[in-house]
Structure formats: C-alpha cells, structure tokens
Structure 1
C-alpha cells in the first residue's frame, strides 16, 4: 500500500489531482452551500403549484440542508491539512477563533432583542442546551462543529498510525453505524441530525489526506460513477423527504441521501467550473461564477449565523408587497450585508488576537535567546 502511494506520488507530481479541485474552488463550493442553506430556510416558492417547475423548485428548496454536509466535507478536508502543519494547541486556536466570536456576537444580540433568560443564554453559548435539551435551539451547526473540532486531533492520531487508511476509515464507519443503531432507543432523535453527518466529515478528512498524498487520479469511468452517485443521492433524497422512505437510522433524510450528494455534487461542480476556466471563450463565465458565488463563500459562516434570525424579523414585512421573488432578492441582499458586517467584525477581532499572539511569541523567543 505504501509503495503504491509513493509510486502514485511520482506519477502525479506534475499532473493535477482531480480531488484537489475541491480546494481550488473551495470558496465557490462554500458559497453555493451557504446559499442553498438560505434557500431551504427562507426561500419563498415563486413558481405556480401546477407547473413542473414548482416540483423542481420545491425539491431543491426542501433538500437545501444538504449544504451543511458540503460544509462538513470541506471542513474535514481543511482540518487534515491544519493538523499536518500545526501543533494541537495551534490547531485549536486557529479553528475556534474562526467560529466562536460570530456565534457569541449573534447570541448576545438575539438574547437582548428576544429577551432570553440568563440561563438560556448560558446554555446556548456553552452548548449545554445542544446536548441537554434540543440541538436546534440556536445555530446548531456551531456546537456541532466545535464538538468535531475537539475530537479531530484524537482521530488524526489514530488515522496517522493506521497502515491501511482505507481499512481504518471503513472500520470507523462501521463503529459509527453500530453506535447509531444501538443508541436509537436511548439517544434523542434530534441528535441524529448531528451524528448522521459524522461520516461526511470523516470522508472529508480522508479526502484531505488523499489530496496531500496525491494518491488519486479520477478517470472518465470514475466521473461516470460519481455522476451515478449524485443521481442516486437525489433519488433517495426525494424518496426520504417526500415519500417518507426510512433508511436505517432516525432522521435518515440527512444521512445516506445527503452523504451521496455531498461526495459527488461538489466534485461535479468543481470539474465543470474547471472546464469552463480551461475553455478560452467560456473562461469569463467560469471566472465570473467563481468570484460571484465565492463572495458568499468568503463569509459563509457569518452568512449562516445571521440568516435565519434576520429572516424571521424582516421576511413578513418583505412579503406584504405580494411579490415573492422580490422579497427573496431583498432578503438575500439584507442578509448578505449583515453577514459581511459580521465577517468584518470577526476579521478585526481575529487580527487583534493574532497580533497579540505574535507579540507574545516574539517576547518568549527573545527571553529564550537572552537566557
């Protein structure tokens, strides 16, 4: 196995690893996921109920929570690279500074306007409410991803020691499935909305490893299989979300269907975008799409943090005019402005923290030199 990877490294050093397209177009994919999540939460259906387009629009809106799975896939990829470059303490610092402040800022604003009790506020920002009461109390993705961050270095340690990474990955998925099945009579059902997404996060971690090792080259046959995976995922998503099909676990509509969509759709979109860039007459379209959707990808986390609460406050007024499409556009603009503001605030906070970190590190180094 090790020899094969070394051999692949030599043969693919100059050739692009197709998996690395996920990194190349990461902002685009994050932006797409962020917009899809906004759609599932707040988009107002604009097509007529009797038309074919209504079915399509309603389906795309209904399964928009798959954007969370795309987030987790890309996050898992990034975490592998982060742990390869940094110590565990530096890893925690880099990860937590990115998510903690937007979350606390939004929780603090909402707590004042919506008159939360001090106890409820404490339970939200500490994650106690997430595990003790209900995961969807407030911005459930944040305590979920922080939980994954906390355990990732442990997983990384075992992953690095495993001689056969694929076998280790398969074994982990088997343990996850066994736990999920055994816990179904004990664990709250809403928690499956989180635990069902652990496999896609771990898959992202594996893809991060494969990208770094350059061990995979996707052939035309592989792309055909990836396309079939996407089609199967969409079919199962329709069956589980509209026809009540149960797939092994509770809250199964965000498990197998989302997994299949999330490991295929980002690759397909990245490949199409890359093809557009490579064709001279279409390059401007590829670059334009990349920059446009990448705008939301740049602030995807902050955009997520503000969207649902702001929509509950302003959407009823936006809909008074009767034009749903216009209401959707106005909501997107307002949420984008608020998300950008939160992004800039967080960027300033992180800049100050990094400055303090550099200064204290330099002081420490100077003291060591003096001694």
Structure 2
C-alpha cells in the first residue's frame, strides 16, 4: 500500500506556506472587488484551506520548537519560547496594522475604536480586525500546556483525535441566543474552532515526521474526503478544513518534480506569509484613500489593476518588513 511520508510536511514547509499565501491572496480578491465568474467566486470560498495549511504546518513546527526545550531550565525555556513566538507575530502586526490604524485615525476613525481594533479584542466582540492574529494569540498561549498534556497521556494520538472530534462537533452546533452581541461572540469563537483541528493535526503528526514514520493514504486522503462529503451532505460544520490533508498529500510529492525557480518562489512566499496576509488586507484600502482617481478610472474596470498593485506592493513591503523583523527576532 502506498504511504505518505509525514517528514515531507517538514521538508517542504516553506513551499506549503507559499501555497497557503497564494490561496489567501486568491481568496481576498473578491473582498477587494475583483470581478470574476461565479464559479471562480466559489473557488475563492475554498481558498480558506490556505489558513488550514498554515495552521497545520505551524502545529508541526511548534511541536519541534517545544521539544527542543526538554532538559534543564524548561520554565525559562518556555518563557523564551513565548517571547520568540509573540515577537514573530506581533512585531509585523503592530508595524503594518498599527500604521493602518494611524492612517484610519487621520481619516476620521475615533482613537478609541482604532486602539480597540488594534488590540484584536474587536474581533471577538464584533468581527472587526485581523481575526487570524486574534486567533493565534490564545493558541500560542495554550500550546505549551497542550504539549505537556500530550507528554503525560498514554496515547497522545487518541487524546488529540478526541480533542479534534470535540471541536468539530462543538463548532458544528448552532447556539441561537436573543442577544445580537452574544450571538456575534459565539459565531466568532466558532470561526476559530473551525480552523483549530488543522493546528492540532499538525501537532499530532509532528512526532511521526521527526521519526520518519509513514502513514497510509487512507488517513491522509480517503477518510478526510469521506468526512468532507458527510459534513457537506448534512450541511453541518466547516467541511473545507478536512481538505487540507489530501491537499498536502498531493502537494508534497509534486514538489519533488517542481522546477527550481517555482520551488524558490514558493519558498520565498512562504517566508513572508504572515506579512503578506496582513498587507493584503489593508493595501487595497490605502489605494482607495490615496489613489481614488486610479481606483475609479476605466483602467481599473473589474478592480484588476488595483488588486495587481495590492499584490505587488504587498509582496515588496512584506519582504522588507520580514527582513527587519527577522533581524529583531534572531
């Protein structure tokens, strides 16, 4: 039986992150007003798999980083781990989104609202702001505890599988309440729970990757696709999350036959994935604010030109910011 080498996820980490970046850019095109056929809009909806790829790879990477802390001074090591992880996400976030909200205040946004949205608390309350960062902050906070539990239980795979199943079920249930505000909070928490199984799966697969173990394509493709079909037919839960495993199972073997140029491009996009995501959200707004003549011109029919500028400017700025952040973090 053909088996999947889990170590490939670690080996092609940069390329998988690059694919995730491209999917996010494609998915944000509709939000930036890009005109396209309805079938392409439907595909944009599936591009959220890019988020799941990022979380899968991140879960695997965080397991590796926590494993390296075993030994003496673990408590001090965990503090350094927290510092490094949060610097990696919060420094580019504060540079990019902090600058954006500074411009927003100049365009009339109340300072209190700008600070509230910058804090990421606004996502949990009213779905405003960078939801991905709002999700990562508590996920990173709880990851060392999850790692410790995995080391304590007899079967980490069974424990993780039950936790994943619990999150899938909880996020699939409806919780109608009379209060609009409470309903918004519930829906926002559910959106995070939709994606967390991908992180937990990556964390669960990490020991297999380290030891070079292989797993059946049944677990990587057939079972996830069966779950997708069941959830889609029953119209419950976030079924695209389970597409991440068959998608990765196809991508990793494909990378082995990829040309060096394309391979390097994906690796580059993977390195700037976080900065690219943040800039992709805000550069379009800057164009509307400061280049209204271009945005409203006939040259920008369908918003193709403006979104092309978003992608180019976002990529260049992402590279520059990532380089500076790396110098700070390391």
Task: Name the TM-score class by shorter chain.
Answer: 0.7 to 0.9
Separation in 2, partners of 1:183, 1:233: 19
Instruction: Using CA pairs under 8 Å that are at least 6 residues apart, name the structure with larger relative contact order, 1 or 2.
Output: 2
* Aligned residue in 1 for 2:14: 27
**Corresponding residue number in structure 2 for 1:267:** 249
Q: 2:214 aligns with which of 213, 217, 222?
A: 217
Displacement after TM superposition at 1:314 (Å): 2.3
> Is 1:168 aligned to 2:141, yes or no?
no
The superposition leaves residues 101-155 of structure 1 with CA deviations (integer Å, 9 ceiling, x where unpaired) of 1111123211221114332233234333233x12x31111012111100001111
| Counterpart residue number, 1:158 | 149
* Mapping of residues 231-250 of structure 1, within 5 Å: 246-247=235-236
Q: Which of residues 36, 41, 58 is equivalent to 2:23?
A: 36
CA distance in 1, matches of 2:26, 2:228: 17
1:319 CA drift (Å):
6.8
Q: 2:46 aligns with which of 52, 63, 68?
A: 63
Contact 2:9–2:209 (Cα < 8 Å) also in 1: no
- Counterpart-to-counterpart distance in 2, 1:112 and 1:260: 39
Q: CA distance change for structure 1 residues 192 and 323 in 2, over 3 Å: closer, same or farther?
A: closer
Question: How far has the Cα of 1:259 moved from its partner?
Answer: 2.0
Number of equivalences: 303
CA deviation string 1:209-234 (max 9, x = no partner): 221233x324xxx3366444575577
Bigger Rg over Cα: 1
1:189 corresponds, among 175, 187, 190, to 187
Question: Does 2:328 correspond to 1:337?
Answer: no
Describe the shift of the 1:217–1:319 C-alpha distance in structure 2 as closer, same or farther (beyond 3 A): farther
Correspondence 1:109 to 2:92? no
Question: What residue number does 1:119 align with?
Answer: 112
Q: Do the aligned partners of 2:221 and 2:249 also contact (CA within 8 Å) in 1?
A: no
For residues 173-206 of structure 1, what are the alpha-carbon distances to aligned partners after superposition, in whole Å with 9 as ceiling and x for unaligned? 3443565467834652122111221211111100
Question: 1:280 aligns to what?
Answer: none
> In 1, Cα distance between the equivalents of 2:113 and 2:204?
37
State how far apart, in whole Å, the 1-side matches of 2:67 and 2:326 are.
24
- Structure 2 stretches lacking a partner, 5+ long: 70-76, 178-184
Alignment of 1:270-349 (within 5 A): 270-274=252-256, 276=257, 285-314=258-287, 317-318=294-295, 320=297, 321=299, 322=301, 325-349=304-328
The CA RMSD over aligned residues, in Å, is: 2.9
1:144 maps to which of 132, 135, 138? 135
Give 1:79 deviation, angstroms. 0.7
Q: Residues 168 and 229 of structure 1: is their aligned pair in 2 closer, same or farther, counting only changes over 3 Å?
A: closer
Tell me the TM-score normalized by structure 2.
Answer: 0.81
Aligned-residue offset at 1:35: 1.5
Q: Aligned partners of 1:160, 1:59: CA distance in 2, in Å?
A: 41
Q: Distance in 1 between matches of 2:241 and 2:165?
A: 15
CA distance in 1, matches of 2:317, 2:158: 45
| Distance in 2 between residues matched to 1:235 and 1:182, nearest whole Å | 18
Please state whether the residue corresponding to 1:196 is helix, strand or coil.
helix
